[in-house]
Amino acid sequence: MLGLCGGLMGMRFAVDGRFQAAAVALLISAFIDGLDGRIARLLRGSTRFGAEFDSLSDFLCFGVAPSFLLYFWALKDGGRYAFLPCIMFTVCMALRLARFNANLDGEHHQPKYASNFFTGVPAPAGAGLALFPLFLGLEAQKLGIDWLYRLTRLPWIPTLTLASTGLLLVSTLPVWSFKNFKVPAQYVLPLMLGTGLYAVVLVADPWAALAAAGVIYVFLLPLSRLSFLRLKKAAEDLQTDEDDIEETPAPSHG
């Protein structure tokens, strides 16, 4: 519910032209979205009602609010068709969340390796990718780079991010979920140091950090697919070996 209120506040700030406050409100919603499921599992309070309510909140915060922000950021003066990419993104987000909910009952029947992957880009990440022009524009405004700031407010750039992210949301691309992700021991310390460094940059220069995170995330998508295919092949090879063992006749002692 707090996340839902954050999304609504972000939309209200966008109407007033307070885009920094609007972006912060959505970031708070994303932070809460990352915590609510874990808190529910720790308290053993996971319910189907909670899962449905979470998706409804995600739809507003990550499906409606980003379109709303980008419309007021760059698209409202873009002509009669400028709202179409906003509609496309929001519809794709609704389809992505509906597919996720529909698969909840069957998640226990999927292969073990598949539990480490989402099907398509998840909602919070999709919102972050779509809002890349806003993050970059706010950073350019802070640094006084006027040409870059004006570039991010051209209608075609938000159109591109909204449309491409919408396609990623409804795709069948396997994407790392990081929920059940186990880090090899030799990578724990570098990962902790990298996370701490990113946290410092996020506090000191949030818009640059968020824009950079979007670029890094896009480059990770092909690696995620390769990882999925490698795990799938390993599981299929193991299953084939087990089937061959079962079909091998026992030696005769007669």
pLDDT at 248: 61
Q: Say which residues have a Cβ less than 8 Å from residue 99's Cβ, sequence separation at least 6.
A: 119, 120, 170
Say how many CA atoms lie within 13 Å of 70 toward its Cβ.
35
pLDDT value at 178 more than 90: no
| Ranges 4-8, 30-34, 88-92: which has the least confidence | 30-34
Q: 190-206 pLDDT, tens per residue?
A: 888 988 888 888 888 99
More confident residue, 77 or 14: 14
Say how many CA atoms lie within 13 Å of 123 toward its Cβ.
30
What's the rounded Cα separation, in Å, for the pair 23 and 29? 10
Query: How many CB atoms neighbour CB 125 within 10 A?
Result: 22
Q: Which two tokens stand for residue 8?
A: 């609504």
Q: Three-state secondary structure along 30-73?
A: HHHHHHHHHHHHHCCCCCHHHHHHHHHHHHHHHHHHHHHHHHHH
Is the separation of the CB atoms in 4 and 61 below 8 Å?
yes
Rounded to two decimals, what is the model's pTM?
A: 0.85
Q: 66-119 pLDDT, tens per residue?
A: 999 999 999 998 888 889 999 999 999 999 999 888 877 656 566 776 777 888
Percent of residues, the chain, with pLDDT higher than 70 = 87
The conformation of residue 103, written as its DSSP 8-state character, comes to T
What's the rounded Cα separation, in Å, for the pair 130 and 75? 13
Is the separation of the CB atoms in 144 and 83 below 8 Å?
no
| Ranges 45-49, 67-71, 161-165: which has the least confidence | 45-49
pLDDT value at 45 more than 60: yes
More confident residue, 246 or 217: 217
Arithmetic mean of pLDDT, 43-56: 80
Q: 142-161 pLDDT, tens per residue?
A: 999 999 999 999 999 999 99
Is the separation of the CB atoms in 51 and 63 below 8 Å?
no
Q: Which two tokens stand for residue 216?
A: 């890094």
What's the rounded Cα separation, in Å, for the pair 110 and 170? 19
pLDDT band (50, 70, 90) for residue 242: low
